[in-house]
Structure 1
Amino acid sequence: MRDGHPQSFVDLDDPTVLAFEYVQHLACVLDSLSPGPPGPLAVTHVGGAGLSLARYVEATRPGSPQIVLEPDAELTEVVRRELPLPRRHRIRVRPVDGRSGVAALRDGSADVVVVDAYADGRVPPELGTVEFLADVRRVLRPDGVVMLNLADEPAGRYVAAVAAGAVEAGLSTQAVLATHDVLKGRRFGNSVLVAAGSTADLDLVELRRHVARSPFPTGMRSGAELARRARSARALTDALAAADPDAASSPRPPDLGRWRLR
């Protein structure tokens, strides 16, 4: 738990065990990226917590160089002590916030960027703006992929706004993954927005296969429907985040147990 919200689950004996549905969705995308035996990927994680996904990448794609941007150095120290990382891993944790950490990365240095950072149960305002997404695009290789874990209300306005910002930043929005009840607007919950660099074209058929095998009842939105939702929204900007941080953050989560609409 962090800020009163469930955050991480780690199985030291089997790092491929992923307890949260949105982490499963992130893993579905990662697993769909290689048509053959999976090889190493250069992955940058914005947000670290228990390093669940970084451990998964290390287990399924050994030798992957990974950078984790996690500003809470005290949390990282506890994780290292209580939940030690595997031997010979290539996971490097930097005690910096996501915005400044991404700004310091080299152009074209990442195959995948994962944005999964929360403060008080909300995505910080500076991590959903056009300017931030443009910097993520700079860091991505041309065939790279970015995944954003976004919490939203049933109407899905925040996810649509971030998708609009991704398009404005020059990324290609590819898909949104979520449990069926979240996709259908029945409750507050997490969606994973997937966007790609200039030459990337995700194999959506392969991704759907992985989604279908998810242990959670998961659906996927892509194509014209996703593009229409992005066009209907106004992108978030740094100017808005500075003037009204509340408006540029993801919605406040309801009390646990009151997430369902109908």
Structure 2
Amino acid sequence: MPDIDRERAWLLTVDGAPQSYVDLDDPTYIEFEYLRRLAHVVDCAASEGEPLDVLHLGGGALTLPRYVAATRPGSRQDVVDADRALVRLVREHLPLPPRSGITLHAMDAREWAGRAPAASVDLLVADVFTGSRVPGHLTSLAYAREAERVLRPGGLYAANLADGAPFAFLRSQLATFQAVFADVALIAEPSVLRGRRFGNAVLLASARPLDVAALARRTAGDAFPARVEHGASLRRFVGDAQPVTDADARPSPEPPDGAFSVG
């Protein structure tokens, strides 16, 4: 069940796993490293301050939508989360500022994507976890094609994933999105990519060339620097992994004990 720990500056946990950290007084402050990387993606998605139409699959405490609203006023954002208890809790305890442009919906993420108009968003962010695992129905080739359909020409897809060595899940996800999008990249800490620990990785995909250099500069400057894998290095990482079909889709692996613990 969702819970907000007011003693720790609005830390939201779901079934013991940290989901969001939000500062209502400073929506540009982002605590979690993977969300900082998604914020870098937002920063590089268009010229500074330019409004975006964004679809968020998975919302948590709306940390990233609040960041977009603060840094890109006038943006229109739909946030979709299947956890109705979480949606109610966020609405009641973490109110959005007036005229934020953010609309929160309680619905399954893939169902919403399937109903969304074609070419309707500039950025699609997937950060959907059931507990600590990405649901299988958001990992397949058919889902990747739905995401591509919803994006405007040149739009950007970004997904928060989690895996550890030997990276069977992460490699299959990269192969799946490479089968649909012209350009794909991966942002992760070197320690995760070297297999030293289980952790988050951000998958990026677009029909246009990604601004890898700008993303690499931003992620390298974080407190916990990350690396952007792209081109030949990413192809080596993916290896012989194959795209995932709906019939073969499985949730992301169960994290080891303590991988995402609070405290």
TM-score (norm 2): 0.90
Tell me the equivalent position of 2:25. Answer: 13
Distance 1:163 1:40 in 2: 29
Query: What SS does the corresponding residue of 1:8 show, helix, strand or coil?
Result: strand
The question of 1:139 aligning with 2:150 is answered yes
Tell me the equivalent position of 2:4. Answer: none
Tell me the equivalent position of 2:171. Answer: 160
| Structure 1: runs of 5 or more not aligned | 242-247
Distance 1:118 1:15 in 2: 22
For residues 176-213 of structure 1, the C-alpha deviation after alignment (integer angstroms, 9 at most, x for no partner) is 1112211221100000010112xx22221111121122
The question of 1:213 aligning with 2:221 is answered yes
Shift of residue 160, structure 1, vs aligned partner: 1.0
Distance 1:121 1:217 in 2: 23
Amino acid at match of 2:102: I
Amino acid at match of 2:236: R
Tell me the equivalent position of 1:249. Answer: 251
Distance 2:49 2:258 in 1: 37
- 1:22 counterpart (27, 34, 37): 34
Amino acid at match of 1:30: V
Q: Which one is further off, 225-234 or 110-119?
A: 225-234
Tell me the equivalent position of 2:194. Answer: 184
For residues 131-182 of structure 1, the C-alpha deviation after alignment (integer angstroms, 9 at most, x for no partner) is 00000000011110101111101222211101111122x2134321112211
Query: What SS does the corresponding residue of 1:206 show, helix, strand or coil?
Result: helix
Shift of residue 258, structure 1, vs aligned partner: 9.2
Structure 2 matches for 1:17-166, cutoff 5 A?
17-34=29-46, 36-166=47-177
Distance 1:228 1:38 in 2: 36
- Cα 1:32–1:130 change in 2 (3 A) is same
Measured on the aligned residues, the alpha-carbon RMSD in Å equals: 1.6
Amino acid at match of 1:205: A
Query: What SS does the corresponding residue of 2:56 show, helix, strand or coil?
Result: strand
- 1:175 counterpart (162, 175, 185): 185
Q: Which one is further off, 70-79 or 130-139?
A: 70-79
Tell me the equivalent position of 2:9. Answer: none
Distance 2:239 2:182 in 1: 13
Contact 1:149 1:192 (C-alpha < 8 Å) held by counterparts: yes
What stretches of structure 1 move > 4 A for 4+ residues in a row?
none
Contact 2:183 2:210 (C-alpha < 8 Å) held by counterparts: no
Distance 1:165 1:135 in 2: 12
Distance 2:259 2:50 in 1: 40
Distance 1:184 1:124 in 2: 25
Query: What SS does the corresponding residue of 1:207 show, helix, strand or coil?
Result: helix
Query: What SS does the corresponding residue of 1:6 show, helix, strand or coil?
Result: strand
Amino acid at match of 1:32: C
Distance 2:158 2:84 in 1: 24
Amino acid at match of 1:213: G
Contact 1:130 1:236 (C-alpha < 8 Å) held by counterparts: yes
The question of 1:195 aligning with 2:205 is answered yes
Contact 1:173 1:227 (C-alpha < 8 Å) held by counterparts: no
Contact 1:46 1:117 (C-alpha < 8 Å) held by counterparts: yes
Contact 1:113 1:136 (C-alpha < 8 Å) held by counterparts: yes
Query: What SS does the corresponding residue of 1:45 show, helix, strand or coil?
Result: strand
What fraction of aligned residue pairs are identical, expressed as a percent? Answer: 41
Amino acid at match of 1:12: L
Q: Which one is further off, 125-134 or 176-185?
A: 176-185
For residues 91-128 of structure 1, the C-alpha deviation after alignment (integer angstroms, 9 at most, x for no partner) is 11111111101001000001111110001210000001
Looking at secondary structure, tell me which structure has more strand per residue: 2
- Cα 1:126–1:258 change in 2 (3 A) is closer
